[in-house]
Amino acid sequence: MFTEMHYQPSYRTQESPRLLPPDGSVPITGAEVVYASIDEYKNLVRTNSDVVSGQKLFTVNCQVCHGQNLDGTGPAAAYMVTNGPVPANLRLDLTKNSTDGELFGLISCGGRYFCNSVLQGGESQSPMPEFRRLLSEEERWAIVAYIRGAIGGQ
């Protein structure tokens, strides 16, 4: 007898079904906590992060939009002026006055404008990727350390 494969949580053909965790269970694998709003990120404290690796990660992942000087004038910014939200100028007071936890949250969920929507399970309309899906927690904290070192502030 054939099973209804499209109803089971398998990801590859001929893979045995996976058991889903019980509702309300708590992960013990060290999985990252996902918060419900950007306000919940505000009080997070930056860990000892490597600014040098943060700069390398920023160069690879962020510089194309936010620019080498973190002022929102990267090579992709010219395209975005006519086709969507422009990259943030990270040197403005809005970023300087944000806590490290807020910066971490904004990097994690893809920018300031759609962050709360994303955290509530909605779709982001931002061209900035949700870096929580692409970079580890440690890598995102390293980017925060680099940005904070470059712009100052809190």
Query: Domains in the chain, please, with CATH?
Result: 34-151 (1.10.760.10)
Give which of 105, 78, 110, 74 is closest to 89, Cα–Cα. 74
Give the contacts of 142 (CB within 8 A, at least 6 positions apart): 49, 50, 51, 53, 54, 57
Q: What is the CA radius of gyration of the chain?
A: 19
Strands (E), the chain: none
The predicted structure's pLDDT at residue 83? 77
The rounded distance, in Å, linking the Cα atoms of 15 and 10 is 6
Token pair for 7:
């109803």
d(CA 75, CA 19): 46
State the pTM of this model.
0.74
Residue numbers of the chain with a pLDDT score lower than 70: 1-21, 27-31, 154
**Tell me, what's the pLDDT at 35?**
75
